Structure 1
């Protein structure tokens, strides 16, 4: 199974990046995920046809499992992630991809954001989003056991839903 982590934090090498990688490794420990830290794509995300953005889009579209990770900004996911998701064709751009929406925040006020705000966009562009979204405390995710508990519950479902690309 190919696994990719897409990180929508405007800070490079962020806690969001670390958390996304931890989630991917917990769900599929036998696979080292590819990582796309969107901040490294810079202004290429603002238009169409940038080669680095195109390569990132192809990597994500060819993946079987993608963890989409974003900090919570203004009660939703970042504009950086939105710009990247705009690169995919509606309805088919993520066909065959099992997507896991992950968001980090300072407190529980936005705990439903992954499911209410990010998941519908992923489904709209063709992803299978069968797992519940995961909301993590941005200061506690590494030690609070939430990622491990999520993986224990949902890793068997990921295995069962493994999609083979044609």
Structure 2
């Protein structure tokens, strides 16, 4: 019998407990539901890395915290990568963490990119910046990147449902995903 699929989350907001973290957790739940709806066995929990907790360690000589966090995420099948939009792209903290990952770190994994912003004018940033970064790390990103206007975060009970609808609209997990075990 095969192991259940594991969905992990990496949040690139430099503020601990951010609204981006809330959105990323809701998206992770929506991904688990989408995979379960395909009849997949999905673990109810997966690793969560909040970059804000790693910020003091990112450039600290000899620190192993970032490497250990990346290793915990290396075991997932699907990785949600979320960031607030800073200067029309993902955060420098997220990039600094991902720069410490090994070559092809995400090979054989599906990554779901999510950018959160205050204005819809940043909606293309996920396609132009975050999705190509994940592809460079070896990830498969078969659907469109997801954008969330932060105004939608005010209705937290409906957030998972809204993100599930966006997953479907963007072409994520609408058919069985062959790359997943």
Sort the TM-score into its range (normalised by shorter chain): 0.7 to 0.9
Q: Is the 8 A contact 2:67 2:101 kept in 1?
A: no
Matching residue of 2:138 = 126
Larger mean CA deviation between 45-54 and 3-12 belongs to 45-54
Matched residue pairs, number?
A: 162
1:136, 1:88 → 2: CA distance? 26
Per the normalisation by structure 2, the TM-score is: 0.81
1:34 deviation in Å?
2.0
- Any stretches of 5+ residues in structure 2 without a counterpart? 34-41
Matching residue of 1:151 = 167
Matching residue of 1:13 = 17
- Any stretches of 5+ residues in structure 1 without a counterpart? none
2:90, 2:54 → 1: CA distance? 17
Q: Is the 8 A contact 1:25 1:32 kept in 2?
A: no
1:37 deviation in Å?
0.3
1:59 aligns with 2:72: yes
Matching residue of 2:128 = 116
State the superposition RMSD in angstroms. Answer: 1.9
Q: Deviations over 1:1-21 (max 9, x none)?
A: 111110000111111000001
Higher CA-based Rg? 2
Partner residue of 2:27 out of 3, 23, 27 = 23
Partner residue of 1:46 out of 29, 52, 59 = 59
Q: Is the 8 A contact 1:95 1:126 kept in 2?
A: yes
Q: Is the 8 A contact 2:81 2:113 kept in 1?
A: yes
Q: Deviations over 1:70-113 (max 9, x none)?
A: 000011000110011101233x1111111011000011101011
Matching residue of 2:46 = 33
Q: Tell me which stretches of 4 or more aligned residues in structure 1 moved more than 3 Å.
A: 141-146
Please give the secondary structure, in 2, of the residue aligned with 1:24.
Answer: helix
Per the normalisation by structure 1, the TM-score is: 0.88
Q: Is the 8 A contact 1:21 1:33 kept in 2?
A: no
